[in-house]
Amino acid sequence: GDSVTQMEGPVTLSEEAFLTINCTYTATGYPSLFWYVQYPGEGLQLLLKATKADDKGSNKGFEATYRKETTSFHLEKGSVQVSDSAVYFCAVNTNAGKSTFGDGTTLTVKP
Amino acid sequence: DAGVTQSPTHLIKTRGQQVTLRCSPKSGHDTVSWYQQALGQGPQFIFQYYEEEERQRGNFPDRFSGHQFPNYSSELNVNALLLGDSALYLCASRLQGVTNYGYTFGSGTRLTVV
């Protein structure tokens, strides 16, 4: 079945540092790839997506590129803020529409 | 435009009891999925409903069942509750056939089994 492996956390950075959270996946067919963010006590919010190879998803300064050859979808941000502190989930959707999530990476940004 | 709404927000039940959780999808969405999120883990797919039928199911026992109503809202039922059923239960909705836009999630129902 489908699976997603995320970089283990937690990750702690200083404000304005560069962020990378690694994500690799296993899926059949031509999946769509997503990053979701979860703030404390809330549900998941879609952060960005990419639907085909070499697509770059971006939102709020975050970016991720769909790399089919390495089956990866790493999340990056050039300069993190305290408000970016949250749990980040990588997910894969197959044509059947079911989403498979990674275990999440907790990011803490210190002033 | 309301997003996905879930009720109740928190619930405490005793082992062996039954529970029903409710979900109203985002306006315009017709497909509802349910996920279980244990503490410190990613959401695990329970099942998906479309046109009032269960279309896909994850690796969950028959104690977990659901229903979708003609207005697209949905219920998740769990029978014979176990301590291990304690988790955040998330409802997510989308428009059928539009798999590449991701899901819209509700804030979840926190179920505690004691």
> What pLDDT digit, counting tens, does each position of B81-92 carry?
999 999 999 999
> CA of B97: which chain A residue's CA is closest?
A97
HEC string of A60-100 equals CCEEEECECCCCECCEEECCCCHHHCEEEEEEEECCCCCEE
* pLDDT band for position A96 (cuts 50, 70, 90): low
B43 and A46 within 8 Å at the Cβ level: the answer is: no
Residue A102, pLDDT score = 95
- Find chain B residues with C-beta within 8 A of A104's C-beta: 40-42
A97 and B105 within 8 Å at the Cβ level: the answer is: no
Please, what are the averages of pLDDT over each run of 10 residues along chain B (114 residues)?
Answer: 89 98 95 94 93 93 97 97 97 80 90 98
* Average pLDDT value over all residues in chain A: 93
* pLDDT band for position A98 (cuts 50, 70, 90): confident
Best of B99, B104, B107, B109 to disrupt the A interface (most A CBs within 10 Å) is: B99
Please state, in angstroms and rounded to a whole number, the distance separating the CA atoms of residues A25 and A38. 20
Residue B99, pLDDT score = 62
